[in-house]
Structure 1
Amino acid sequence: MSELIGRFIDHLAIAGRSPHTLAAYRADLDMLADHLEPLQAENAQPNDLRQALTRLRASGLNSRSIARRLSSWRQFYLWLLRSGQRHDDPSGSLRAPKRDKLLPKALPVDGAAALLDRIEGDDALSARDRAIFELIYSCGLRLSETVGLNMDDVDFSDQLLRIRGKGGKERLSPIGAVAMARLRDWLAQRQAPKEEPALFLGRHGRRLGGRQIEKRLRDWAIKTGAERHVHPHMLRHSFASHLLQSSGDLRAVQELLGHANLSSTQIYTSLDFQHLAKTYDNAHPRARKRRAPTDEDTGAE
């Protein structure tokens, strides 16, 4: 099989594939050869490849990696079929596993507070940034929703925010006290042409773009010593996770996030369970590892 793999890699090289891609194909096909041994590639049947996939799953590979390997195998057998070295494609009936549902990344409560509290500066841009990020965290905003906010979306008397979400659906969200104060600070310095309705503006007095918001948050996270990359959607995830931890009200979190289906919100219960499991491990007397008794424990002097 190694000879066939070599010829296939040569075929890909002639087609202009990059060295990195060639190396990935070779690694995936070498792995297949190991699984099929002593069977030859040209004699492999669908069940043989299915067993190879089963071994990959059993080895602990995630669904994304398995799908990539299966894609390499399919390209290999398609080449064998087209070049007349096989009369069928044993990989045609195989299905890649469903992608693992990745948990959203949220900041811990103290981490979110530390980031937001350390955005300092007396200039208008710093005031704007504090208002943006506090509002995202306070209301669980998507980046597109933040960009699309207008001045008349803020109800200062009732402290409510009108949000235009996916599909043009509108929702109302309470604005927290800190975010409200940051908004007032920003509006005291906001300068824009009268016809500009946008709540958040760039340097030239026009609506601020999503890329600019992402860059500003990334830069502030670096300045404030954050230990990981922070992006606006992480503040939305943090809003949902922290609210669910405190309230346990999944339906309310669904409404505040603007999710059409409860299943989209239920992923945050996994984050909440991780928090509860950690609390259990730290607090339950039978969850922690037992330590050796000391003289003080036994009353010995």
Structure 2
Amino acid sequence: MNPNFPTGLAVSLQRFYDYLHHERGLSAHTQANYQRQLTIMTQQLVELGITEWQQVDAAWVRQLTTKGMREGLKASSIGTRLSSLRSFFDYLISIDELTANPAKGVSAPKKKRPLPKNLDIDEVGQLLEVNDDDPLSIRDRAMMELMYGAGLRLAELVSIDIQHVQLSVGEIRVIGKGNKERKAPFSGQAKQWLDRWLTVRSSLANEEEQALFVSKRGTRISHRNVQKRMEEWGIKQGVSSHISPHKLRHSFATHMLESSQNLRAVQELLGHENISTTQIYTSLDFQHLAKVYDNAHPRAKKNRAPSNSESDD
């Protein structure tokens, strides 16, 4: 029992730690983590004048969250603290020390979404310079061209059947997240290499197989196989970035947004239900836009010599 805490707080904490050890049988590491998080928050509550757990309400818990943010804690760390506090209060409810959990309605700050990584256009060109006549190489280039050319998800690519492809008009029917169907346009190199793959597909595919892309066993190619083959091609083609199906889709989105500046169109092409999901690519494009601004705006040009009409006064 912590002698630095008021008895009303310390006794309940010790009972909770005994419960974690004897009844829940948690590992020593997990028990120590609970104790560490709760000790920090209890100390903060004591400093705010709390002496009994019954005094704590949602407003006090929000103060702890705000304090953590001011201290520069990551959202995940604050979330861990809140989770420990919720578990502790749930225990106090179970032994009739509390009637409600004041931490239940308090949320941790949202985690910052990591920006998706993408290839630059030169890296994409380097990756896609696959000119082998081997059926597996033709298949792999067709898959990569299609992922980059249509912005497909890995699951969408793998699930395509032959009847979903309209090569003459450059459209594929894909089933996206939530079992939602959309038509994905493709053209150029994607169309050319998909045509090449269809001419050699029968040399690999089993007779009754409907999948567009098949493995050397003749059946629908697996997610892992696609990932492995793309990773291998990245190494073989000397691309410095790690290659993955997801990265090709991100590259499609970024390059389309850079060229078109049409967020709604890119949203539809990617099959995003909410435009907020697509807006993450505007963060990727900001550096590009900032450079354009610096080079173009008359008041932003760097190291620009003053014109004759400008005064030195």
- Asked if 1:254 is matched to 2:264, the reply is no
- Asked if 1:29 is matched to 2:22, the reply is no
Give runs of aligned pairs for residues 149-160 of structure 1, distance below 5 A.
Answer: 149-160=160-171
Report the CA distance between 1:244 and its aligned residue: 0.9
Select the residue among 40, 65, 73 that pairs with 1:61: 73
Report the CA distance between 1:96 and its aligned residue: 0.9
- Asked if 1:269 is matched to 2:282, the reply is yes
- Asked if 1:106 is matched to 2:114, the reply is no
8 Å CA contact 2:61–2:103 kept in 1: the answer is no
In structure 2, do the counterparts of structure 1 residues 168 and 89 end up closer, same or farther at CA, with 3 Å as the change threshold? closer
Aligned with 2:72: secondary structure? coil
Give runs of aligned pairs for residues 200-239 of structure 1, distance below 5 A.
Answer: 200-221=213-234, 230-239=243-252
User: Which whole-Å CA distance do the structure 2 matches of 1:10 and 1:114 have between them?
Assistant: 61
Aligned with 1:171: secondary structure? strand
> How many corresponding residue pairs?
290
Report the CA distance between 1:254 and its aligned residue: 2.2
- Asked if 1:133 is matched to 2:183, the reply is no
User: Which whole-Å CA distance do the structure 1 matches of 2:74 and 2:287 have between them?
Assistant: 20
Q: Kindly provide the amino acid, as one letter, of the partner of residue 20 in structure 2.
A: L
Aligned with 2:172: secondary structure? strand
8 Å CA contact 2:139–2:213 kept in 1: the answer is yes
Q: 1:77-125 CA distances to partner (integer Å, 9 max, x unpaired)?
A: 22334346x3445634542136336255031423651562366755433
User: Which whole-Å CA distance do the structure 2 matches of 1:23 and 1:133 have between them?
Assistant: 48
Runs of at least 5 residues in structure 1 that lack an aligned partner in the other structure: 292-301
User: Which whole-Å CA distance do the structure 1 matches of 2:288 and 2:32 have between them?
Assistant: 41
- Asked if 1:71 is matched to 2:79, the reply is no
Runs of 4+ that moved beyond 6 A: 282-286, 288-291
Report the CA distance between 1:49 and its aligned residue: 2.4
8 Å CA contact 1:106–1:235 kept in 2: the answer is no
Q: 1:136-174 CA distances to partner (integer Å, 9 max, x unpaired)?
A: 111011222111112233333333333233455443333
- Asked if 1:18 is matched to 2:27, the reply is yes
Select the residue among 186, 192, 197 that pairs with 1:186: 197
Runs of at least 5 residues in structure 2 that lack an aligned partner in the other structure: 4-9, 305-313
In structure 2, do the counterparts of structure 1 residues 57 and 164 end up closer, same or farther at CA, with 3 Å as the change threshold? same
What TM-score do the two structures reach when normalised by structure 2?
Answer: 0.76
8 Å CA contact 1:160–1:173 kept in 2: the answer is yes
In structure 2, do the counterparts of structure 1 residues 261 and 95 end up closer, same or farther at CA, with 3 Å as the change threshold? same
